[in-house]
Amino acid sequence: MTLVIVLKRIGMAFVTVCLATVMTFILLRLTPGNAIDGWARDYATQFGITLEEAYRRIAAMINYNPNEPLHEQFIRYISGLLQGNLGVSMVYQQITVNSIIANAMPWTIFVATISLLISFVIGMLLGVRMAWKRNSILEPSVSLFTVITSAIPDFIFAILLLVVFAYGLDWFPVNGAYDPFVTPGFNIDFIVSVLYYAAMPILTFVITNIGGWALMMKGNAVSILGEDYIIAAKARGISDSVIMNRYVMKNAMLPMITMLAVTFGGMLGGATLIENIFQYPGIGYFLGEATRTRDYTVMQGIMLFLSVTMIVANLIADLVYSKLDPRIKVEG
Amino acid sequence: MRGMIDFFRIICHNKRSFIGLIILVIFILMATVGPFVFKLNMTVDYNNRYLTPSFEHWLGTDFAGRDTFIQLVHGSKEVLLVGLLAAFFTLFVGALLGTISGLVGGRLDAGIMLITNLFLTIPSFPILIIMAAIFSIRDPISFALVLSAWSWPGLTRAVRSQIISLKERDFIVICKVMGMSKPHIIFKELMPSITSFLSISFIMTMRGAITGSVGIMMLGLAPYSPTNWGQMLNLAISQTGGIFNPLGFIYLFSPILCLALFQLGSIFFANGIDEALNPRLRG
C-alpha cells in the first residue's frame, strides 16, 4: 500500500469527522429553543442576575448562544471543540461533558473488549470445526443457535438474563459496575467485584455475537479447505490438527480481523440499550439518561465522541487489513 | 396470476419459508382483524390485577387489571404499522438513490456515496435515541420517518452495487445497442432482476425497524401508545415490577415472545423468497 492511498484514506476519514461535527451542530440547533430559555430563567433567579447576564454565562458554559447569528455560533462551537471542550451538562451544571465521557468510557470499553474477545475466540474455534467436520451434529446446532440469537434482539436477551439470573436465582447483581462497599483501586476485591458485576452484560454480548463469528469463520474456512496448499499439506502427511490450527485457522482469520475493529466501534454505540437495562454506568447509559432529561449538551458530546470513535475504528480496520494480508490490493 | 401461484408453491415447498409465511400471516391477521374482534379497555381496575390466565382473560391481567392478551393484539397493530411504514420509506429512498447512483455514475455517484458513507459511520442507535428525543414522536408516521432516516444508506449502497454489476451484463448492453429507451431498460430489464433482493431487503428493514422502535419505546422515549410492545416492556421493567414480581411475568414475556416469533418468521420467510424470485437459484 502506498503512502498516497494511506493519506487518501486518512483524508476521507477527516472529511467524515468534519461532516459528523456539522451534523451534531445542526441537530442541537434543531432542538426546541425553550430548553435553553428555561435554563436561563432558572439560572437568573438562582443567582439573582439579569436574564441577559444569565444568557451570557450559559453561552460561555455550553458554547452556545441562540441569539448569535448562525456562523458565529458555529465558530464558537468549533473553537470549543478544538480546545477539547465539549461544554457542561445542562442538568448538572458542575459536571463537564468531558468528565462524563472520561468516567463512562472505561466501563464500556472494558465490557466491549472482553465480550468481543470471548465471542471471537469461541466463534472462531466453532467455525473451523464446523468447516472441518461437515457432517457432524455441530453444524446444524450452531446454525440453529445463530438463527435464534440473530432473530432475537440483544436487549431481549439482556432482559431474560436479568429476570432469570439476577432477580430469579439471585446469582448476579441487578445494577451498577462494582460493589459500593469495595474501595476502587488495584486490589483483588475490587477486580473480582468488577468482573462479577460485568458478567451479565458480557454474557449478553457473547451470546448474541458468537453465532455470527462462527458462521463467518466457517464460510472462510470452507473456501480455504479447497485451496491447493491444503491438499499439498495433506499429501505431505501433516497431521490434521496442525493443518486445522496453522493452515486453515490463520488464513480464515484474516478477513475477520477487520470486522473486529468495525464491530468494536459499533458495540460502543450499540451498548446503549443493554447498559440501560443493567444500569451499567457506561457511555450508553449516560446517553440514555441525558436523553430522558433532555440534556442536549451531553447528548451532543457523546454523539460526537461515538461518531469519531466509529470513524477511527473503520479507518484502522481499513489500514490493518491490507497490512495483514499481502494479497489484498487497496484501491485508492 | 401464474407467477403468484408459482411463488406460493415454491414458498410452501421450502419448509423454513413455509413456517415463516404462517407466522407472518398470523401476525398480520392479529394486527388487522384482531383490534376489531377484541375491544381494548384501558381503565384501571385494581381488584382484578395480576389475574392468572382464564377463559375471560386469555393471558391474565397486568399490574392495573387490564387484559394482557388484548393489549398484545392492539400492540401488534402499532408495531407492524411502524415497521411497515419504515420499511416502505427506506426502500423508496434506498432503491431510488442506489439506482441513480449506480446508473449515472461520475460526480453524482461520488456525492451520493459520500453522504451514504457519512450516515453509515455515525452510530445509528444513539442517533435514533437523540432524534426520538428532539422530534418528540407522537404518531406512527413520524416514528417511521425517524427510523428510516438511518436505515436507507445500507440499502442505497447494496442497490448501487447490484445495479453496477448488472449494467455491464450482456443483456443490458444488448438492450442499449438495440436502442431501447432508458425507462424501458430501468423498469423492464433492471428492476425484475433485483426484485428478489428488494423484497428481502424490505422484510429485513422491517425487522430492523421493529427492533429499533421497540428499543426506543422500551427506553420510554416515544410514549404515544400504551399498548405498543416496546411500551409494554418499558412498563413491565420500570413501573410495575414485572421483572421482580413473578405475577407480572406473563405481561413481561408475552411481548418478548411475540417479538422473537415475528423476527424468526421474517428470517425464515426471507430465506424462501430468494429461492422463489431468483430464477438462478432454482436450478
Instruction: Tell me the C-alpha distance between B190 and B183, whole Å.
Output: 10
Rounded Cα distance between A199 and B219, Å, is 22
pLDDT tens per residue across span A202-227: 888 888 888 888 888 888 888 888 77
B106: left (phi over 0), alpha (psi -120 to 50) or beta: left
Nearest partner of A191 among A180, A172, A201, A178, judged by Cα = A178
Give the lowest-confidence range in A55-64, B132-141, B206-215. A55-64
Q: Which three cell numbers stand for residue A155?
A: 436487549
- The tens digit of pLDDT for each residue in A34-62 reads 556 666 777 777 777 777 777 777 776 66
For B115, what's the count of Cα atoms within 13 Å in the CB-facing half-sphere?
Answer: 14
Show the cell assigned to A331: 484501491
A17-34: per-residue pLDDT in tens?
888 888 777 776 666 555
Q: Is the dihedral of CA A11, A269, A185, A161 positive or negative?
A: negative
Q: Would you call A20 and B122 a contact, using CB atoms and an 8 Å cutoff?
A: yes
Q: Which residues of A touch B215 (CB under 8 A)?
A: 153, 155, 273
Band of residue B244 on the pLDDT scale cut at 50, 70, 90:
low
Give how far the C-alpha of residue B77 lies from the chain's centroid of Cα atoms, to the nearest Å. Answer: 13
Chain B residues in contact with A19 (beta carbon < 8 A): 118
Q: pLDDT at residue A259 above 60?
A: yes
Distances (CA, A) of B9 to A227, B3, B6, B21, B260: 39, 10, 5, 12, 26
Tell me if the pTM is above 0.90.
no
CA distance B76 to B78: 5
**What mean pLDDT is predicted for residues A141-161?**
81
Range with top average pLDDT, A87-96, A207-216, B214-223 = A207-216
Burial of B172 per CB tally in 10 Å (0-12, 13-18, 19+): middle
- CA A159, CA A146: separation in Å to the nearest integer? 19
DSSP assigned state of A150: H
Residue A99 pLDDT > 50: yes
The greatest distance separating any two alpha carbons of chain B, rounded to the nearest whole angstrom, comes to 78
Residue showing cell 425553550: A34
Closest by CA to B146, choosing from B154, B157, B138, B158, is B138
| Cβ atoms within 10 Å, residue A66 | 15
Query: Which residues are bridge partners to A96 per DSSP?
Result: A88
Is 70 exceeded by the pLDDT of residue A332? no
The Cα-based distances of A175 to A206, A241, A286, B99, B220 in angstroms read 19, 43, 14, 48, 19
Distance between CA atoms of A286 and B125, rounded to whole angstroms? 14
Residue B65: which pLDDT band, with cuts at 50, 70 and 90?
A: low
**Minimal CA separation from B2 to chain A, in Å:** 32
CA dist B92 and B198 (Å) reads 10
More confident residue, B132 or A236: A236
Largest CA distance in chain A: 88
Minimal Cβ distance to A27: which of B134, B259, B267: B134
Contact B127 A276 (CB under 8 A): no
Report the C-alpha gap between B46 and B59 in whole angstroms.
17
CA gap B149, B41 in Å, rounded = 34
Give the CB-side neighbour count of residue A179, counting CA atoms within 13 A.
13
CB B119 within 8 Å of CB B67: no
**What count of other Cβ atoms lies within 10 Å of the Cβ of residue B48?**
16
Residue A272 touches partner B, C-beta closer than 8 Å: yes
Could you tell me which residues come within 8 angstroms of residue B123 by beta carbon, excluding any fewer than 6 positions away? Answer: A265, A266, A268, A269, A270, A306, A307, A310
pLDDT at B236 over 80: no
DSSP helix/strand/coil, B207: helix
Residue recorded with cell 436502442: B179
Q: Please give the DSSP secondary-structure letter assigned to residue B49.
A: T
Neighbours of A152 (CB within 10 A): 21
Burial class, B211, CB count within 10 angstroms (exposed 0-12 / middle 13-18 / buried 19+): buried
Q: pLDDT band at residue A331, thresholds of 50, 70 and 90?
A: very low
Please name the residues in contact with A162: beta carbons below 8 A apart, sequence gap of 6 or more.
Answer: A174, A200, A277, A278, B243
Interface size between A and B, measured as CB pairs under 8 A: 101
pLDDT band (50, 70, 90) for residue B119: confident
Reported ipTM: the value is 0.73
- Is there a contact between A268 and B214 if contact means CB atoms under 8 Å apart? no
Task: Give SS3 for A39.
Answer: helix
Confidence (pLDDT) at A302: 86
What is the identity of the amino acid at A261? A
The whole-angstrom distance between B195's CA and the closest CA on chain A is: 24
Count CB-CB contacts under 10 A for residue A293. Answer: 15
Does the beta-carbon distance from B219 to A288 stay under 8 Å?
A: yes
**What count of other Cβ atoms lies within 10 Å of the Cβ of residue B29?**
12
Q: B17, B19, B121, B135: best mutation site toward chain A, by most A Cβ within 10 Å? A: B121
Q: Residue A51 carries which side chain, given as an amino acid letter?
A: L
Of A16, A153, A311, the CB nearest to B211: A153
B219 or A213: whose pLDDT is higher? A213
Shortest CA distance to B165 belongs to which of B91, B212, B244, B103? B103
Name the DSSP class of A18: H
**% of chain A with per-residue pLDDT over 70:** 84
How many whole angstroms separate alpha carbon B192 and alpha carbon B213?
A: 31
Mean pLDDT along residues B232-241: 72
Copy the grid coordinates of residue B242. 414485572
- What residues in A contact B260, CB-CB < 8 Å? 151-152, 156
Name residue B67's beta-bridge partners. B61
- Residue B170 one-letter amino acid: D
Instruction: State the burial class of residue B123 (Cβ atoms within 10 Å of its Cβ: 0-12, 13-18, 19+).
Output: buried
